[in-house]
Amino acid sequence: MTCEEDLFCGIKSAKSEDMTDLEKKHTPVIDAPETVKAGESFEVTVEVGKLMAHPNEEGHHFQWIELWHGDTFIFRYDLTPVFSEPKIVAEIKLTHPHDEFELRALARCNLHGVWEGRKKIRVE
Ligand SMILES: [Fe+2]
């Protein structure tokens, strides 16, 4: 088995815009403004299972969701199946003007590994 075939090897992401069901169920979707001002807070939403429903039960669920801006860590939420939905709404701020980095959301499914979704954001 290659790393690409092993769901727990590395970080998985959609291979193209024509996503498989596995990719739709696991790719985090980031909702945030296209452009923000440095140092001003804004709302960001990260959700998994938005493109296609994913189970949220003891045997199969998302364990955590993280948000990064490039390689800068922003937040991590730990989740419990049934009690917490894999949807995070948070106020964040980015402090340095940039247009080269993306927001990167990571989410870990207990059966299908770590998945990444990205969104371009310009910080003025
Ligand atoms: Fe899963």
pLDDT in tens, the chain (124 residues): 999 899 999 999 999 999 999 999 999 999 999 999 999 999 999 999 999 999 999 999 999 999 999 999 999 999 999 999 999 999 999 999 988 899 999 999 999 999 999 999 999 9
Q: What architecture (CATH level 2) is domain 11-123?
A: Sandwich (2.60)
Whole-model pTM over 0.85:
yes
How many A from CA of 60 to the centre of ligand 1? Answer: 6
The per-residue pLDDT for 62 is 98
Whole-number Å distance, alpha carbon 111 to ligand 1 midpoint, is: 5
Q: Rounded to the nearest whole angstrom, what is the distance from the C-alpha of residue 41 to the centroid of ligand 1?
A: 32
Give the C-alpha separation, 115 to 52, whole Å: 14
Task: State residue 54's pLDDT score.
Answer: 98
Distance 79 CA to ligand 1 centre (A): 14
For the chain, give every domain's residue range: 11-123
Strands 42-47, 87-92: pairing is antiparallel
Whole-number Å distance, alpha carbon 110 to ligand 1 midpoint, is 7
> What is the per-residue burial (b if ≥16 Cβ within 10 Å, else e) of 100-120?
ebbbbbbbbbeebbbbbbbbe
CA of 16 relative to ligand 1 center, distance in Å: 19
pLDDT for the residue numbered 99: 84
pLDDT of 108 reads: 98
Distance (Å) from CA 122 to ligand 1 centroid = 31
